[in-house]
Structure 1
Amino acid sequence: MSPGSREIADSALVRRLNAARVLTALRAEPALSSSALVSRTDMARPTVLAAAQLLVRLGWATESGGGTGARGRPSRVFAFRADAGHVLGLDVGARTVRARLADLRGEVVARAARTVPDPRLPAAERLALVRECALGAVHEAGLAGHRLLAVCAGTSGPVDPDGAVHTRTGIPGFLGAGLRTALAEEFGPDVVVENDCNLAALAERRRGLAAGGGSDGHDGGDDPEGDDTVCLLAGERLGVGAFVGGTLLRGAHNRARDLGFLALMPDAARDLPAGASPDDGIGALARAHGARLVAELADARGRPAPGAPGAVLYGLAGGAPERVDAETVFAAVRAGDTAAPRLLDGMLAPAAHAVATLSMLLAPRLVVVSGAVAAAGDVLLEPLRRRVARLVPAVPRIAASPLRDEAVVTGAVCLALEHAEARYLTDLRPAPGC
């Protein structure tokens, strides 16, 4: 490279770095005057104005007049264009599909959801349902698919580089399904597929209990507790996402965190209902144990007496085992059903062994119970803590996620934002349509 070419390249790099610095400041506030930008960036006014004007030309910022500033000079106000592009997050589960469309601050502007009619739905039909749900959110926002800067989908199991799960998944018939390919056909190449537990952990780190200073979704993780956090996704199946020293734990082939070892623990696998597995989630085991108890009482051919174990649950389910779901079991426990100790032992034993084992291996400061069952934290957390305390001498803080069943899709939005930032904002490419 000739000296002149090198000087041009260096100058372009400096301009990009200055613009990136101004962009970071703008993203932290609704709007900033030129004087405020000078103060926030510690750069000279001409440099700040040149960088801000570059962002305006690229379509990532807007400029407006703000009256008279210091020394009588007209004040210029700049704002980040959060609507300059959008990202899409998806949560692909066994029973539901959720889609959230967000602007570049991570604020959700449209949402869609679909219920899977049968958890054993063939892969091709499930993929069609995922595409339909994704397009539902895009159409609700009035956007064309090509305007999305990135798409992220979360699914159960270790995700391979091709965006498919080939070894183990909690979704029947979904091994090898081309989730990334199906979405790329609709939305282009900027599609990433990630393990749902990793996304739930990322959501906690960015916008949940482990967020610390990062509640805006861009610079989370300032809280030391968030540096060492285990997120236990505990609805239909038990799964784990973990940050260790501030780094997401992946392992070879993205297969770290597999809880298959629970099958080797007799206490974790004890007294499981027919068809249940020790790595089933708290919600699934609550449903299975509750249905078994109601069936036992129904077989006794008589409504149980008030106060008898299972009487409250039997009444809430109308004596029908098929009407028992996790929420019904949690409601019975809240109402003081005397079968509560038996039910809690059954639904929490695998989770307690998982938390205890991970506590010994990873020494997290915080364990977050995530997924829909987090809404039952008032019922579950204290019994879970007691069970973990029986297994290990040092129990980490155990808390329920405020994100609940939005955890995976929130993490998908966060990861989609990271990909969009890496592709467009870091290199300061023009905003779509500009």
Structure 2
Amino acid sequence: MPRNPSDGAARAASLDAVLDYAWTAGDFTAADVMDAVGVTRSTAIEATAALVGLGLLDELPNARDAGDYRMGRPARRFAFRPGAGILLGIDAGRTHLTVAVTDLAGTRLHTERRDLSDADDTRADRRRVIVRTIGSALRKAGVGRERVVALCAGVPAPVDRQGVSPRHPSGFWERMNPDLTELLAAWAPFVRVENDASLAAVAEGAMGAAVGCRDYVALLAGDRLGAGVVVDGHLLRGRHGGVGEMLAFDHVHDVEGASGLGHRAREWALDLIERGDLAADSPLRTTAPAEVDGRLVLELAAAGDPDALRIAARVGATLARVVSVLGSMFDPQRVIVSGAISAGIGMIVDTAREALPADMHLPAPEMVVSQLGDEVVVDGAIAGAMDLARRNTLDLWLARQNATED
């Protein structure tokens, strides 16, 4: 977006710096800006005044007006105005869709959730249901689409820097990411489409188990395995966005595929049921196969059921193999088991820690369970949208001001 030519490069840079500081600073004064941003007093005053004029900052009552009396002239106080715009964070999974509407500070105004069926699995159907759900979420949040500044969406497919997914032999990746960057450009000036595991890594680094960590892997471990990889503080993608894809595990002994931990627990439980290889009093004997899922198996294991414990140990051994390969490939400090299944996976992670091979050469990564649960991808999408907004909002507001003046 073009800048207002009367501002000058130096002033534009100072506005960017002050706005970035204000975004998370709470209330502040010009003196706080001087200390944090390293600008002169006159520049701090000019920048805050310009941002107030643009509607991106609010001027607050001064200390005396707020009842906090002080001798001398009270300092002018400012705060970022999160209601100046709207963000959208989207988790567009294979079987679910979540759209979160937030203000510019990431505070949720409304969250719309929808289960997806096979009827929603074509490219056209997914595009239609995503657009319909965004519109519904905005209406229920009570905000117009013209207020949306940035949008970030996560999909279960590799995604390159342009938001494009490569072709898949069965067309799965193209269905999961049906040209969303182009589709969603109608809903926000700034759009980012990412792999869902990559957004899980963004969330863990912003508010989860990887805060302050520069080398980590967020392992989405529900129905399918996916990894968001951060090395030296940078999210890795690769040429086609395939860094976190688990296709290589098709060729790893005792893993043999990218099926997630929950999926494996369910399949191994169903195998025991079919073969009748269960204790006489096992709850799995009286559970209908359609009701068996990974969460149930983990709940039974936590309750001490011997058959579920057998399955959990097998899943833990598989997780240990996966983590050992990721450790040798990326040398992370930490591997975070994330996603919906993470709520009941502590026992499996404990088993995996004990099962990690002793011959990894490199130190084994720490394994922890995410506390973000099934919101991890949409949390990462909100953080991704906020990052877009922080880098681009000033340009957008200045361009709108120029258009109004013209």
Tell me which interval the TM-score lies in, with the shorter structure as reference length.
Answer: 0.7 to 0.9
Contact (CA 8 Å) 1:373, 1:404: kept in 2 or not? yes
TM-score (norm 2): 0.87
Distance 1:67-1:256 versus aligned 2 partners, 3 A rule: closer
Aligned equivalent of 1:174: 175
Q: Residue 87 of structure 2 aligns to which amino acid in structure 1?
A: V
TM-score when normalising by structure 1: 0.82
Query: In the alignment, is the contact (CA less than 8 A) between 1:348 and 1:384 conserved in 2?
Result: yes
Unaligned runs of 5+ residues in structure 2 are: none
In structure 2, the residue matched to 1:183 is 184
Matching residue of 1:240: 227
State whether residues 424 and 430 of structure 1, in contact with CA within 8 Å, keep that contact through their aligned partners in structure 2. no
CA contact (8 A) 2:198 2:244 kept: no
Matched residues in 1 for 2:102 and 2:359: separation? Answer: 42
What residue identity is the alignment partner of 2:234? T
> Shift of residue 50 of structure 1?
1.4
Does the 8 Å CA contact 2:317/2:351 hold for their aligned counterparts?
no
Deviation of 1:235 after TM superposition, in Å, equals 0.7
Q: Which residue of 2 aligns with 1:163?
A: 163
SS at match of 1:231: strand
1:218 aligns to what?
Answer: none
On the 8 A contact 2:101/2:137 being kept in 1, the answer is yes
User: Is 1:414 matched with 2:383?
Assistant: yes
Secondary structure of 2:367 counterpart = strand
> Does structure 1 residue 305 correspond to structure 2 residue 280?
yes
Aligned-residue offset at 1:329: 0.5
Q: Which residue of 2 aligns with 1:274?
A: none
Which whole-Å CA distance do the structure 1 matches of 2:15 and 2:70 have between them? 23
Deviation at 1:229, TM superposition (A): 0.5
CA change 1:180–1:17 in 2 (3 A) is: closer
Residues 73 and 188 from structure 1, CA distance in 2 versus in 1: closer, same or farther, beyond 3 angstroms? closer
The residue aligned with 1:216 is none
- Match of 2:398, SS state, is coil
Look up the match of 1:143: 143
Return the alpha-carbon distance in structure 1 between the equivalents of residues 300 and 268 of structure 2: 13
Match of 1:323 among 288, 291, 301: 291
* 3-state SS, counterpart of residue 28 of structure 1: helix
- From 313, 325, 331, the equivalent of 1:363 is 331
1:23-77, Cα deviation, whole Å (9 max, x unpaired): 2332233212344444544544333221110000111101133144765214322
Change (3 A) 1:85 1:118: same
SS in 1 for 2:306: coil
- 1:89, 1:151 within 8 Å by CA — same for their partners in 2? yes
- Alignment-mate amino acid for residue 22 of structure 2: L
The answer for the alignment partner of 1:352 in structure 2 is: 320
8 Å CA contact retained: 2:127, 2:180: yes
**Structure 1: stretches of 5+ with no match in the other structure:** 1-7, 212-222, 270-277
Residue in 2 that maps onto 1:250: 237
Find the residue that maps to 1:227 and give its secondary structure. coil
- 8 Å CA contact retained: 1:94, 1:119: no
CA contact (8 A) 1:20 1:428 kept: no
Q: CA deviation at 1:284?
A: 1.3
Say if 1:430 and 1:81 are closer, same or farther in 2 by CA, change over 3 A: farther
CA distance in 2: counterparts of 1:162 and 1:80, whole angstroms = 30
For 1:232, the aligned partner's letter is L
Q: Which residue of 2 aligns with 1:200?
A: 200
Which residue of structure 2 aligns with residue 340 of structure 1?
Answer: 308
Structure 1 residues 373 and 173 mapped into 2: Cα distance closer, same or farther (>3 Å)?
Answer: same
Residue among 29, 50, 53 paired with 2:49: 53
The answer on whether the counterparts of 1:158 and 1:254 sit within 8 Å (CA) in structure 2 is: yes
Distance 1:431 1:9, change over 3 A: closer
Per-residue CA distance 1:150-202 (angstroms, 9 max, x = gap)? 111110121246634333499587166232333334x1553221111111111
Partner of 1:294: 273
Percent of aligned pairs with the same amino acid: 30
The residue that corresponds to 2:263 in the other structure is 284
Moved more, 374-383 or 18-27: 18-27
